[in-house]
Amino acid sequence: MHPARLWRPLGETGGSAPVNIQCRLCNHFCNIAPDETGLCGVRKNVGGKLFTLVHDKVAAANLDPVEKKPLYHFLPGTNTFSFGTAGCNLACSFCQNYSLSTTPRLTGNITGQLTRPERIVALAIESGAKSIAYTYSEPTVFFELMAETAELAIQHGLKNIMVSNGFQSPECLAELKDLIHACNIDLKAATESFYHTICNAHIRPVLRNLKTIRDMGWWLEVTTLLVPGENDSKDEIETLARFINDELGSDTPWHISRFHPTYKMQDHVATPLEALEQAAAIGKKAGLHYVYVGNIHGHEGRDTQCPACGCTVIRRKSYTAAKNDYSHCPACKAHIAGVWSTNDLR
């Protein structure tokens, strides 16, 4: 166990009995009784103080193309050293990594190899990665490990990427402001009912955080997993597209990804290709310049077209693109939004 950050006691701390704790890490603001954990299963009240159970337990680590996060407009053609711990603060019925995200909450078992931030950064440098990605599960729940690693990464010239559900508390985002360079945030649906019923969360904090992230200057891309019969109506897709375009900006890349039946939604069908293509068309009609179809092998919807003349600027094979400066269209010289080299970053 390691002392956690972002919490406060609920009640007097001067007595002999331990007090409840409010975790201030995400928008659940869990009230945690002594010897209990929050909804994520990895932050525990021990004697009236909050501890993280995953500060040094890395459960998954790989060298990935940055496009796999997915980030299509951030240092294309480079690799990112990706890692995550067990645990998540949401409980999505369609979770693609449920064995990693749900185990602490459901069983109390927390797996992972003992790994310190110094070792993570050393592995990233040895691998030739240009960045470190906090991913696989929800990085918010391993905030302390992420923050310490990110600080070291910056000292060694690496960039930091967060792949997240966007349910952080305002305090958490403020702490990460100068540590993260790019992120992909899941915008899971346009309705509170979807977030509440299917994800055990709420939509308003996610919408607010997306706007905060835009204002903080991180490179932002958004992903929506299109689940048949749940969040794929024309009205809902139009609502999502308008929000991204109007509130985050027309240059914000939107990844519309195919759902594959898993976890508690194995009775659903995979997203039809036509539904993905129709959703992408709606996004473009709303004014978005960069809309992508994901989780479909070989589909041209992963390529980047110039919003001015339609020329294909970036062709992607599998998850990867050639390493290049794509800041301008080769045909008409129009600006292509993105972070194409580390010189574009602070």
- Domain range holding 157? 57-344
Distances (CA, A) of 32 to 7, 90, 166: 10, 16, 22
Do 79 and 15 have their domain in common?
A: no
Phi, psi for residue 9 in degrees, rounded to 5? -70, 150
Long-range contacts of range 276-284, CB-CB < 8 Å, 24 or more positions apart? Answer: 276/226, 276/301, 277/301, 278/234, 278/237, 279/224, 279/226, 279/232, 279/237, 280/256, 282/234, 282/237, 282/238, 282/241, 283/237, 283/240, 283/241, 283/244, 283/254, 283/256
Do 42 and 77 have their domain in common?
A: no
pLDDT at position 104 is 92
Do 75 and 161 have their domain in common?
A: yes
Regions in the chain scoring below 70 on pLDDT: 12-17, 346
SS3 content of the chain, % helix, strand, coil (to 5): 30, 25, 45
Q: Which residue has the tokens 């109007």?
A: 246
Do 17 and 61 have their domain in common?
A: no
| DSSP single-letter state for residue 83 | E
Do 74 and 213 have their domain in common?
A: yes
User: Where among 34, 52, 70 does a domain terminate?
Assistant: 52
Residue 97's CATH number: 3.20.20.70
Contact assessment for residue 203 and residue 191, using Cβ atoms and an 8 Å cutoff: yes
Contact assessment for residue 294 and residue 312, using Cβ atoms and an 8 Å cutoff: no
The count of domains in the chain is: 2
Do 152 and 9 have their domain in common?
A: no
Do 40 and 23 have their domain in common?
A: yes
What 3-state DSSP class applies to 37? strand
What 3-state DSSP class applies to 308? coil
Contact assessment for residue 166 and residue 186, using Cβ atoms and an 8 Å cutoff: yes
Contact assessment for residue 32 and residue 44, using Cβ atoms and an 8 Å cutoff: yes
Question: Residue type at 270?
Answer: A
Do 35 and 151 have their domain in common?
A: no
Distance (Å, whole) CA 329 – CA 326: 7
What 3-state DSSP class applies to 258? strand
Contact assessment for residue 273 and residue 230, using Cβ atoms and an 8 Å cutoff: no
Distance (Å, whole) CA 284 – CA 192: 24
pLDDT at position 214 is 97
Contact assessment for residue 226 and residue 258, using Cβ atoms and an 8 Å cutoff: yes
- Adjacent-strand bridge partners of 185: 164, 222
pLDDT at position 300 is 84
Strand blocks (E) in 100-243: 113-114, 131-134, 159-164, 182-186, 219-226
Helix axes of 143-155 and 117-127: crossing angle, nearest 10 degrees: 50
> Hey, what are 252's tokens?
């914000």
- Adjacent-strand bridge partners of 209: none
Helix axes of 192-199 and 203-216: crossing angle, nearest 10 degrees: 110
Do 43 and 66 have their domain in common?
A: no
Distance (Å, whole) CA 169 – CA 140: 9
pLDDT at position 272 is 95
pLDDT digit string, tens, across residues 41-66 = 999 999 999 999 999 999 999 999 99
Do 101 and 16 have their domain in common?
A: no
pLDDT at position 16 is 65
CB neighbours of 128 closer than 8 A, spacing ≥ 6?
A: 79
C-alpha 27: how far from chain center: 15
Do 152 and 180 have their domain in common?
A: yes
Do 145 and 264 have their domain in common?
A: yes
C-alpha 157: how far from chain center: 22
